[in-house]
Chains A and B, each alone.
Chain A
Amino acid sequence: MSDPVRRIKAPVRLEYSVTAGKDLSRFLVAIADGRLIGKRCPSCRKVYVPPRGVCPTCGVALGEDVPVSDTGTLTSFCIVNVPYEGQVMKLPYVYGSVLLDGADLPLSHLIQGIEAADVRMGLRVRAEWLPPEERRPTLESIRCFLPTGEEDAPFDTYKEHL
Chain B
Amino acid sequence: MTAAISPLEPFVDPTADHRVDRHVWAQTMAMSKRSVIAIIRQPALVVPSLVFPLFFAALGSSSFSRATGLPGFPKVDSFLALTLAASVIQGVLFGSTNGGAALAVDIENGFFDRLLASPTSRISILVGSLAGSSLFGAAQALFFTIVMMIFGVHLYGGIVGLLVIVVAGALIGLSIGAFLAAMALRTGSAEAVQGVFPLLFITLFFSSAFFPRETMRGVYRTIADINPVSHLYEGMRDLVIDGLSAGAVAKSLLIPIAIGFVSIPIALSQLRRRLKAL
Indicate, yes or no, whether A interacts with B. no
* Residue positions of A touching B, CB distance < 8 A: none
